Amino acid sequence: MTDLNSPNLKTIAYTKIIDLTQTIHPNIPIWPGDPPVQFETVSQIETEGYYLRKFSMGEHSGTHINAPNSFDSTGMGIDNYSPQSLVSPAIVIDIRDRTFANPDPNPDYTLTIDDVLNWEQQHGRIEASNLVLLYTGWQAKWHDDRAFFNRDNRGICHFPGFSEATARFLLEERSIAGIGTDTHGVDPGRDTSFVVNKMVLQQQRIVLENLGNLDRLPPKGITLVIGILRLVGGSGSPVSAIAFVT
């Protein structure tokens, strides 16, 4: 795992805490072919004296993190991520003016290098070891599976993401800790090669998907804490993503 200890081992100053985690229930949008979310009550207060359920879901469902072995059989699993790597400064790039722009919204829009440079003109250069969170506005569609995946009549999804060139720029020129988004993929929906996902994970960085409440975050001044399930050999994990905002 990339050593991110140095920038993360410091006091976290904050004025508010924002939960970026989508609530899990059986009707959340599930990637095609992934197992459904299921809950089953196994103990009732009236009979056993306590309430208990069991649940099952895919490792890449809900708000989640991907691990390198999800695309590379020799890659590490989620149980090998260091605690230090799961605490990171973060910035937010808002592209809703492209994805929801009237009268011509573009659900296939991908973050460009110019978008990044324009953000830096306003907020300063993205410092190394930051997570870059992409606010597309798709979080508002979370409770509508059809709108969230936005499939056409061929079954192809249409939602925004990071372009390959921009992801490479952020990794190589800004040395970021990883990326995240409020859609079901850091790649745009119509890209079934997952090139951005693979690129980031090959460098053992962070990939977060299905984030919520990005509208409550400022562009910078964020420390993100990612709580994983340390599943042995896991290809990813549902997470609790908590933002500390200065």
Domain layout of the chain by residue ranges: 5-24+60-245
SS3 assignment, position 16: strand
Q: What is the chain's pLDDT, residue by residue, as a tens digit (246 residues)?
A: 444 444 545 688 899 999 999 999 999 999 999 999 999 999 999 999 999 999 999 999 999 999 999 999 999 999 999 999 999 999 999 999 999 887 789 999 999 999 999 999 999 999 999 999 999 999 999 999 999 999 999 999 999 999 999 999 999 999 999 999 999 999 999 999 999 999 999 999 999 999 999 999 999 999 999 999 999 999 999 999 999 999
Q: Which pLDDT belongs to residue 31?
A: 95
- For the domain 5-24+60-245, what is the CATH superfamily, name and number? Putative cyclase (3.50.30.50)
CA distance 188 to 149: 11
Degrees to nearest 5, angle at CA 183 with 180 and 188: 90
Q: Which pLDDT belongs to residue 89?
A: 97
CA 184 centroid distance within chain? 8
Q: Which pLDDT belongs to residue 102?
A: 74
CA distance 239 to 179: 15
Q: Which pLDDT belongs to residue 10?
A: 67
H/E stretch holding 236 reads strand 236-245
Q: What is the pTM of this model?
A: 0.95
* Type of residue at 77: G
